[in-house]
Amino acid sequence: MTRADEDSTGTPAWWIYRGTGVPSPDVDLSALPGPPAWRTFTGGPVVEADLGGWEEETERRLGSPTSARLRETPVQEVTMVNTALLLRRPLLVTGRPGTGKSALAYKIGRELGLGRVLRWPVSSRSTLEEGLWEYDAIGRVQAAATRRDQEPDIGEFVHLGPLGTALLPCDLPRVLLIDELDKSDIDLPNDLLSVFEDGEFAIRPLVRIARTRPEVRVFTADSDNTADIRRGRVACKAFPIIIITSNDEREFPPAFLRRCLRLTMPDPTVEQLANIVAAHFHGKEVGQATELIRAFVERSAHHGGLAADQLLNSIYMATSGAYTQDEDWRLLCESLWHELGPS
């Protein structure tokens, strides 16, 4: 990379995301180069996404954006996030539990000003349809029985899931977290392929009535917000920023991996843990935090890796007045810093 490809700070000019997790007034997503021809999407008409009401949830997960020092984010993380932005591809994030895989989605959303993160927590019972849309046919029949003078509108019983909401045709991409995909049924990764490739999907109950009801207003995953669906189809305009997390509990099919970029999250360093602590305990004296962090890192190295929230729990206990140099505190730390895998 040449100097011409970097800005005045030495940062590659094509990086939109810098990895700070702090809102940046200088971010301009319109400066992002256009997508490759094979990743161009033209859905419409444009839906105005309600991006408000995200601050509390994001601060709970990341801590305060004002008190945290700019984090030394690994270059590989920043590079892969920006590559996913540029190529309009999902990013599969792997690593041990507690290394910040899910938090990455919230960092991106806050730094780029993209509002509330849409989260799809995957379980063994999750299906593609659940992520896209749900239709409460039984609820509609029950409503019809009580509204004999007027048939209930079908749109009242159609609810877009987090993936379906992320694919609405918005000018700016939504951030979607598909959390712990490795817990899914074996078929779900393959079921996602066509949606990732095409950026669109059909809502079957609305397709069936498209001739008589070409436009139906349905609920989205943004609280009680709604969106107008035309002819039963949703097609994105800006492909969403999709972060898929996995604890490496299973292998994914080659066809799925081909459609994703991949990032492995390393264990956080002492400096990164210190920044996490500063973000979550903003403005509060944390006393022996440095000693606790170093002891935590040492114990983590000897016990197969611990999660950052285990450290936060112990520092909270320390700031509550429980921290004294005695045997009881040592035993408490051992309990809080328990192994996450089989012993």
pLDDT for position 256: 96
pLDDT in tens, 126-143: 999 999 999 999 999 998
Which strand ranges, in their side-by-side order, compose the sheet holding 118-121? 118-121, 175-179, 241-246, 91-94, 261-264
- Annotate 43-87 with DSSP letters as a single string: --SPP-----S-HHHHHHHH--TTTSPPP---HHHHHHHHHHHHH
**Distance (Å, whole) CA 273 – CA 59:** 16
Query: What is the band of 163 on the pLDDT scale with cuts at 50, 70, 90?
Result: very high
183: Cβ contacts below 8 Å, ≥ 6 apart: 122, 123, 124, 249
| Cα dihedral sign, 21-27-33-36 | positive
Beta-ladder partners of 12 = 6
Q: What is the CATH number that goes with domain 22-264?
A: 3.40.50.300
Amino acid in the structure at residue 250: R
Of 43, 62, 177, whose CA–CA distance to 111 is shortest? 62
- Spans of all domains in the chain: 22-264, 270-336
pTM given for the model:
0.89
- The angle, 0 to 180 degrees and rounded to 10, between the axes of the packed helices 101-112 and 75-87 is 70
Q: According to the per-residue pLDDT averaged within each range, which of 10-24, 63-77, 286-300, 301-315 is highest?
A: 301-315
Alpha carbons 215 and 206: distance in angstroms, whole number? 9
Would you say 93 and 178 are in contact if contact means Cβ atoms under 8 Å apart?
Answer: no
Rounded to whole angstroms, the Cα distance separating 89 from 256 reads 11
Pick from 29-43, 193-207, 209-223: least confident: 29-43
**CA pair distance 210, 215, nearest whole angstrom:** 7
Q: For the ranges 81-85, 171-175, 181-185, 300-304, which has the lowest average pLDDT?
A: 300-304
Task: Tell me how far the alpha carbon of residue 3 is from its chain's centroid.
Answer: 33
pLDDT at 324: 66
Average pLDDT, the chain: 88
- List, for residues 319-329, the tens digit of each pLDDT value: 877 666 677 88
Quote the CA–CA distance of 336 and 331 in Å, as a whole number: 9
For the stretch 293-309, pLDDT in tens is: 888 998 888 887 888 89
Of the candidates 270, 264, 337, the one whose C-alpha atom is nearest the C-alpha of residue 299 is: 337
Contact in structure between 285 and 319 (CB atoms under 8 Å): yes
pLDDT tens track for 230-281: 999 999 999 999 999 999 888 999 999 999 999 999 988 888 888 888 888 8
